[in-house]
Amino acid sequence: MTAAESIVRLEGVSKRFDEITAVQRLDLAIARGEFFVLLGPSGCGKSTTLRLIAGLETVSEGRVWIAGRDVTQDPPAARQISMVFQSYALFPHLNVAENVIFGLRVRRVPNAARREKLAHVLDLVGLAGLERRKPAELSGGQRQRVALARAIVADHPLCLMDEPLSNLDAKLRGEMRHEIRALQRRLDMTVIYVTHDQVEAMSMADRILLLRDGRIEQLGRPAELYEHPASAFAAGFVGSPPMSLIPLEALRAAGAARSLAGLPDAALLGLRPEALRVVPRGAGLVRGRVATLDYLGADTVLGVNVSGQHFVVRISGYSPVTEDDEVELDWPAEAAHLFDRATGERLSPPLAETSGGSEALPASPAPARRHLGPSELVGDTVPRRHITKGG
Ligand code: ATP
């Protein structure tokens, strides 16, 4: 990305609060028109990064550029940004219309232009007709729409959002996700959006920056994070239900020895729930017992205990397997991820690219793969001495 294409650029930005380093030497460029999500667990530095861009915090080191200008020393008002917070930050004594145009009044935008902008933006966010209501007379979703309208009407090139949907219930959050994304595309806004919710990040972002302890864990498109997680941490954080991360030595102990030939013990095998299959007896790589079963309608999620290791398996629709059944599991070679057990880093090249045959891979060859039919239910009928085909 050239300097002209980026609207925000961070160069070696760090932020320290006494002995706590909240953000560590962050280098980052965000493109114009991008929906950019800062994702990570509580305390990883997402809000601090956003506040450094906004100018609500001063940097300890490094430089912040917005629209080609070094704004490192500029106050928030000089940075040409609008903000939407989790708390809505509305004036309780002002009605919807007054809250939305408050900034335009301060900027002395003429009356007629204010009225026109107000009507347009209330229409955009679905609040037309509610102009005279006070915030206390609105639902949480409507209040957040007022905050959005205020951010849009400001007409700034950059909008920063800090967990804007956290106070809403799950159904409304889903609706507002789509509305915000549609508005951002329609208005060609650049949005930097903070969330700890990976579903929000995956469904809204053009790119995600996954932060951990103030550092970049991974930066990429949602599909890149999902399909090529850079670390065991990224693999476990993105995706629900989460990826199973199994030490290879435990898998050997579980009987999959032959199929793991050539792979280091000090590695973690990562498998997405949808990559794992319950297969007919004799066709699996490992055998375990169903410890948990969550029927979700479209899917059933199984927790399978294999010699003390927890595999999460997603089955489409209704599962013929029930709790406490013995099952055999299989997975395709190309779906397997491998991470260094000590550092958590992805071992490169990825497993699928090292494929010299199924013997060297923790998976069965493709032709052997098929779904389990109801009549092939393993259950307790499988002789326990038969562990796996590799064992
Ligand atoms: P959350 O999702 O819980 O809001 P976050 O990822 O946004 O977390 P930050 O709020 O950026 O995390 O905080 C990063 C680190 O900096 C944390 O350890 C936090 O305690 C610390 N921190 C943030 N603001 C301050 C402050 N004003 N004074 C001291 N420490 C702070």
Nearest CA residue ID for atom 1, ligand 1: 42
CATH classification at residue 172: 3.40.50.300
- Residue 44: CB within 6 Å of ligand 1? yes
Q: Are residues 150 and 254 in the same domain?
A: no
pLDDT digits (tens, 9 = 90+) for 310-340: 999 999 988 889 999 999 999 988 888 999 9
Share of the chain above pLDDT 70, in %: 86
Final residue of a structural domain among 233, 260, 280: 233
Residue 315 CA to residue 298 CA, distance in Å, equals 9
377 falls in which pLDDT band (50, 70, 90)? very low
pLDDT digits (tens, 9 = 90+) for 251-268: 887 776 556 667 777 899
Note whether 229 and 235 are within 8 A (CB).
yes
Please provide the average confidence, as pLDDT, over all residues in the chain.
Answer: 84
321: in domain: yes
Burial label for 227, CB within 10 Å (0-12, 13-18, 19+), is middle
pLDDT value at residue 152: 87
Nearest CA residue ID for atom 25, ligand 1: 17
Q: Are residues 290 and 216 in the same domain?
A: no
Q: Are residues 317 and 356 in the same domain?
A: yes
pLDDT value at residue 25: 96
Note whether 304 and 331 are within 8 A (CB).
no
pLDDT value at residue 51: 96
386: in domain: no
Residue 312 CA to residue 299 CA, distance in Å, equals 12
Q: Are residues 48 and 192 in the same domain?
A: yes
Nearest CA residue ID for atom 18, ligand 1: 43
pLDDT at 180 over 60: yes
Q: Are residues 41 and 179 in the same domain?
A: yes
Q: Are residues 174 and 218 in the same domain?
A: yes
148 falls in which pLDDT band (50, 70, 90)? confident
pLDDT value at residue 158: 93
Domain count, the chain: 2
- Residue 42: CB within 6 Å of ligand 1? yes
Structural domain boundaries, residue 254: 244-381
Query: Which residues does 50 contact at the CB level (< 8 Å), separation at least 6?
Result: 38, 160, 162, 192, 194
Q: Are residues 172 and 249 in the same domain?
A: no
Query: Distance, CA 138 to ligand 1 centroid (Å)?
Result: 30
Nearest CA residue ID for atom 17, ligand 1: 43
Note whether 54 and 76 are within 8 A (CB).
yes
239: in domain: no
Sheet of strand 215-220: strand arrangement? 81-85, 158-162, 190-195, 35-39, 207-212, 215-220
Q: Are residues 375 and 325 in the same domain?
A: yes
Q: Are residues 57 and 200 in the same domain?
A: yes
The CA-based angle 48-51-52, given to 5 degrees, is 85
8 falls in which pLDDT band (50, 70, 90)? very high
Q: Are residues 259 and 299 in the same domain?
A: yes
pLDDT at 372 over 70: no
Sheet of strand 244-247: strand arrangement? 244-247, 267-271, 337-340
pLDDT at 381 over 90: no
- Residue 58: CB within 6 Å of ligand 1? no
pLDDT at 213 over 50: yes
Final residue of a structural domain among 233, 258, 274: 233
Atom of ligand 1 nearest to the CA of 214: 14
Query: Distance, CA 13 to ligand 1 centroid (Å)?
Result: 15
390: in domain: no
350: in domain: yes
Nearest CA residue ID for atom 11, ligand 1: 45
- Residue 20: CB within 6 Å of ligand 1? yes
Q: What is the mean pLDDT of residues 165-181?
A: 85
pLDDT value at residue 327: 95
- Residue 375: CB within 6 Å of ligand 1? no
Cα–Cα distance list, 270 to 111, 137, 227, 237 (Å): 60, 49, 11, 12
Cα–Cα distance list, 220 to 38, 181, 228 (Å): 11, 18, 10
pLDDT value at residue 103: 81
Q: How many other C-beta atoms are found inside a 10 Å radius of the C-beta of residue 180?
A: 25
238: in domain: no
Nearest in space to 194 (alpha carbons), one of 158, 229, 164, 159: 164
**4-18, 178-192, 305-319, 358-372: lowest mean pLDDT where?**
358-372
309: in domain: yes
Alpha helices (H) in 188-221, listed in sequence order: 198-204
Q: Are residues 259 and 133 in the same domain?
A: no
59 falls in which pLDDT band (50, 70, 90)? very high
CATH classification at residue 274: 2.40.50.140
Sheet of strand 20-31: strand arrangement? 20-31, 6-17, 61-66, 69-70
Q: Are residues 86 and 202 in the same domain?
A: yes
- Residue 48: CB within 6 Å of ligand 1? yes
Q: What is the mean pLDDT of residues 356-384?
A: 34
Share of the chain above pLDDT 90, in %: 56
Which of 47, 192, 212 is the best mutation target for the ligand 1 pocket, counting ligand atoms within 8 Å of the beta carbon and taking the most? 47
3-state secondary structure of 370: coil
- Residue 45: CB within 6 Å of ligand 1? yes
Compute φ and ψ for 162, nearest 5 degrees.
-110, 105
Final residue of a structural domain among 180, 200, 233: 233
Residue 181 CA to residue 206 CA, distance in Å, equals 10
pLDDT at 26 over 90: yes
- Residue 215: CB within 6 Å of ligand 1? no
Residue 368 CA to residue 275 CA, distance in Å, equals 14
Query: Which residues does 270 contact at the CB level (< 8 Å), separation at least 6?
Result: 229, 232, 235, 243, 244, 245, 246, 336, 337, 338, 339
pLDDT value at residue 351: 41
90 falls in which pLDDT band (50, 70, 90)? confident
Query: Distance, CA 226 to ligand 1 centroid (Å)?
Result: 26
Is 104 or 45 the better-scoring residue by pLDDT?
45
236 falls in which pLDDT band (50, 70, 90)? very high
